[in-house]
Amino acid sequence: MQPVTGQGEASGDGIVFHLRGVRYVYPNKQVALDGIDLDVRRGEQVALLGANGSGKSTLLKLLDGIIAPSDGTMTALGADVAAVAAGVDAFRFHREVGLVFQDPDVQLFSASVFDDVAFGPLQLGLGRDEVRARCDAALAEMEIGHLADRAPFELSGGEKKRAAIASVLSLHPSVVLLDEPTASLDPRTKWVLVNLVRRLGAANRTIVTATHELDIVPIIADRVVVLGEERRVLADGSPRDVLVDRDLLIRANLIHEHLHEHGGERHSHPHEAGPDHHHGDNPGVRHHDVVPASPAG
Ligand SMILES: Nc1ncnc2c1ncn2[C@@H]1O[C@H](COP(=O)(O)OP(=O)(O)OP(=O)(O)O)[C@@H](O)[C@H]1O
Ligand SMILES: [Mg+2]
């Protein structure tokens, strides 16, 4: 295999991730990805969109080199991902690439938040002062310095998420993979995270963020990749182009078309994916899930 190139360098052509015809099939035979073609360049900020079960988390685990493709070719930082997943040069690889898992319980395993945030830097063999400085900075970045001595399993969902993000930031990875980082964050903390992603981007880190929150996409990404229900890339373009393509967004289940009846009048309009919306108790307003939309009344 090719070695991992040092210090966050992509391969000579600036490609960080290169995937062709990548499939991933879970041991229970569930096909999660079925023919992914994708290149990500150094310094890109990519938003990864797709309905539940479309394969976003699976793709991020492949990019993080913790699982290997079942089929197809894939390199990350110039290394063969199948080899990295088998442990070859994995330590060096994970200095460069950090994944914040969708479920923070997967990421937090130490007796205290501080220990979890310090784990990566200690593994790197850094000195005590450097470890302490990195941890303090990462905890401050996520505004959880006050939680440093708490046990992770005693935290709220959002606090755990922030601790999990801090535990990746302390590694200073050049490639940051975020799986629904704003899920379960309160509105203020969500914007702390959005600003963090922007700052990392400005520092030329490569960032791939899986999210269902369309409102943050233009702020945190310069490129949008949509996974379709066929478990392949359905669209790949700028936020400006992809997010205005209403038919595409409906097809990918990223927005939801509702048909409303107001008295005798009918109209339809899209809603962002999310919890069902309500129209109060007005009995004159009914809505049905209808795809495709019928013409406005
Ligand atoms: N550990 C697993 N074992 C078997 N199948 C799995 C496993 N994890 C995920 N899958 C399946 O793989 C497919 C892709 O799942 P994945 O978690 O990658 O989707 P996702 O796009 O991240 O969804 P969500 O938006 O709900 O997080 C789904 O059909 C899912 O049921
Ligand atoms: Mg997921």
Helix axis angle, 157-169 to 187-202, nearest 10°: 10
Please work out whether the CB of residue 30 comes within 6 Å of at least one atom of ligand 1. yes
Q: What is the pLDDT of residue 257?
A: 73
- 98 to each of 3, 171, 255, how far by Cα in Å? 18, 8, 30
Q: Which atom of ligand 1 is nearest to the CA of 61?
A: 18
What the block records as the tokens of 99 is 């994944």
- pTM comes to 0.86
Best mutation site among 25, 26, 99, 103 for ligand 1 pocket (most ligand atoms within 8 Å of CB): 26
CA of 273 to the centre of ligand 2 (A): 15
Q: What is the pLDDT of residue 263?
A: 59
- Do 66 and 228 touch, CB atoms closer than 8 A? no
**Homologous superfamily, domain 42-64+83-239:** P-loop containing nucleotide triphosphate hydrolases (3.40.50.300)
Sign of CA dihedral 238, 244, 248, 250: positive
Best mutation site among 29, 30, 67, 177 for ligand 1 pocket (most ligand atoms within 8 Å of CB): 30
- Do 287 and 270 touch, CB atoms closer than 8 A? no
Please work out whether the CB of residue 282 comes within 6 Å of at least one atom of ligand 1. no
Distance (Å, rounded) from C-alpha 47 to C-alpha 236?
Answer: 10
Ligand with smallest separation from the Cα of 212: 1
Q: What phi, psi does 27 have (nearest 5°)?
A: -55, -25
- 238 to each of 46, 116, 224, how far by Cα in Å? 9, 36, 6
Can you name the residues that pair with 227 across neighbouring β-strands? 50, 233
Burial class of residue 187 in the structure, from the number of CB atoms within 10 Å of its CB (0-12 exposed, 13-18 middle, 19+ buried): exposed
CA of 104 to the centre of ligand 2 (A): 12
Strands (E) across 87-200 are located at 97-100, 175-179
Using only the alpha carbons of the chain, give its radius of gyration: 21
Q: What phi, psi does 180 have (nearest 5°)?
A: 50, 60
E strand or H helix that includes residue 73: strand 71-76
Q: What is the pLDDT of residue 256?
A: 84
Instruction: Show Cβ contacts of residue 106 under 8 Å, excluding neighbours closer than 6 positions.
Output: none
Q: What is the pLDDT of residue 283?
A: 38
Helix axis angle, 113-123 to 128-141, nearest 10°: 130
pLDDT 10s per residue in the chain (297 long)?
344 444 445 556 799 999 999 999 999 999 999 999 999 999 999 999 999 999 999 999 999 999 999 999 999 999 999 999 999 999 999 999 999 999 999 999 999 999 999 999 999 999 999 999 999 999 999 999 999 999 999 999 999 999 999 999 999 999 999 999 999 899 999 999 999 999 999 999 999 999 999 999 999 999 999 999 999 999 999 999 999 999 999 999 998 876 555 655 666 666 654 444 444 344 333 333 333 333 332
Domain boundaries, the chain: 42-64+83-239, 255-289
Distance (Å, rounded) from C-alpha 208 to C-alpha 221?
Answer: 8
Distance (Å, rounded) from C-alpha 270 to C-alpha 254?
Answer: 10
Ligand 1: residue whose CA is nearest its atom 30: 53
What the block records as the tokens of 279 is 């129209």
Q: What is the pLDDT of residue 294?
A: 34
